[in-house]
Amino acid sequence: MKIQGVRVPVQTEDEYFMRQALDLARMADAMGEVPVGAVMVREGRIVGYGYNCPITTGDPTAHAEIRALRDAAGKVGNYRLPGCTLYVTLEPCVMCIGAMFHARVTRLVYAADDPKTGVCGSLLDLPADTRINHHLMVSRGVLADEAGTLLKQFFIAKRSTKQRNTS
């Protein structure tokens, strides 16, 4: 699209919602948490928000996805969330994808791959496993560079702080 000789980038719906998740990831980062954010979308509207906070809450289940699922279920009034899409800045772990299966989430969109704990194609591919009762569509790599940079910067800073504290 051109406006007075200037090219205006067109943002897809997936990019729009992923940017909302990235804003939440930055909130987690500001709290000293691994910067992961998630939003649950139904019929083009955000119905659930979440960002990582297991350290500050002392809750190992306080991943961004779980918090977005809980928020959405509370707002919708049902633990089942068919017709919903979860946008998250990092490939989900086993716990989070399991919760999405149980909630009957229709679609997952994630930004950065997680080669150490990701189970949507990196370490394992649980959504593709036909033995599992529920399946969901998966889209990968939406704003992956931006999410990956945020994560890399977080871990560089963490390692730098750790090295200063041990010297």
Q: Tell me the HSE value of 135 on the side-chain side, using a 13 A CA sphere.
A: 6
Beta strand spans in the chain (E): 2-3, 6-7, 37-42, 45-51, 84-90, 107-112, 137-140
Q: Which of 133, 135, 114 is nearest to 64 (CA)?
A: 114
Q: Which residue has the tokens 């089942």?
A: 80
For 43: left if phi > 0, alpha if psi spans -120 to 50, otherwise beta; the answer is left
91 labelled catalytic: no
Q: Which of 145, 123, 137, 117 is nearest to 52 (CA)?
A: 117
Contacts of 20 (CB under 8 A, 6+ apart): 37, 39, 46, 87
Looking at 15, 33, 43, 65, which residue is catalytic?
65
Q: So which residues are the catalytic ones?
A: 65
